[in-house]
Structure 1
Amino acid sequence: MKQNKLILIILEGRFGIFRLEKGSEVPAWVYGSSFFSITSTSEELSIVCQESSAPANIPEGTGVEKGWNCLKVEGPLDFGLTGILAGISRTLAENGVSIFAVSTYDTDYVLVREIDLERAAEVLEEEGYKILKT
């Protein structure tokens, strides 16, 4: 095992990634999630939140990717730090694990498919990351 790098915390619950049409309003159900990220661009409105917050019948025209787990990089992280997300994503990519990344002012979040969580945790620990559950 390599020298300890960072602590990654597995957040509770399963997460979904939702794509709404540009100009869409943010649905009220998003705010029921203990973690959510909303990104609006000129092309789309993307939302990441716990699946349990989303209604059973997602409106037509909404892209949906369910079955993700979220790893939080223990922060806050200083803006002067470099390569945090690159190191995590490189390790996972080299081991065939796809990610969806979200960054905030204080830290980074890496979503991996639920079916890949065990493998992701294993390879990250081999690289010196400490994995904790909430």
Structure 2
Amino acid sequence: MELKILKQDFSIGKLYDVSQADLQNEFCFFAKTDQENSLVCPTEFMPDDMIEREDGWRAFRIQGILDFSLIGILAEISSLLANHKIGIFVISTYNTDYILIKAENFERAVRVLADHGYEIIH
């Protein structure tokens, strides 16, 4: 399976309201629930005025379009990384999944996945 490293640095945060999210950015993940408005985007595009914000994330994408019948892809990746004490933040889209990892653990995570047969695309 191919994992594509994204070059951007990412931030994760909680917005006061939906209007703060600039949905025109290439990578912008927005979620609204009854409890919060969450935004994940490249750090350079994160609004300054937020409820909470955490910078310092890197990401990779599982390449290709994943059929909904596929089972265990995220479970395998998350288990491998958990066994190496590497936490993740996952975003699923209609086509695929994005895995975010704190920047200080990112290169180690990439090595672990490569050592277990994942093809890493830079």
| 1-structure distance, mates of 2:45, 2:78 | 27
| 1-structure distance, mates of 2:104, 2:94 | 29
Q: Choose which of 79, 84, 95 in structure 2 pairs with 1:95.
A: 84
Asked if the contact 1:8–1:73 (Cα under 8 Å) also holds between the matched residues in 2, the reply is: yes
Moved over 2 A (4+): 30-33
Equivalence for 1:7: 2
Shift, 1:96, TM fit:
0.8
SS of the residue 1:71 aligns to: strand
Equivalence for 2:53: 64
- TM-score, normalized by length of structure 1? 0.85
For 1:33-72, list aligned pairs within 5 A: 33-55=25-47, 58-59=48-49, 62-72=51-61
**1:67-116 CA distance string (max 9 Å, x none):** 10111000201111000111111111110111000000110000001111
| 2-structure distance, mates of 1:19, 1:43 | 10
For 1:17-32, list aligned pairs within 5 A: 17-21=12-16, 24-28=17-21, 30-31=22-23
SS of the residue 1:48 aligns to: strand
- TM-score, normalized by length of structure 2? 0.93
Q: Which has the higher contact order (CA 8 A, sep 6+)?
A: 1
Instruction: Name structure 1 gaps, 5 residues minimum.
Output: 1-5
Q: What is the RMSD of the two structures over their aligned residues, measured on CA atoms?
A: 1.3
Asked if the contact 1:103–1:109 (Cα under 8 Å) also holds between the matched residues in 2, the reply is: yes
Give aligned pairs, total: 122
Shift, 1:32, TM fit:
5.0
1:131 counterpart letter in structure 2: I
* Identity fraction in percent: 39
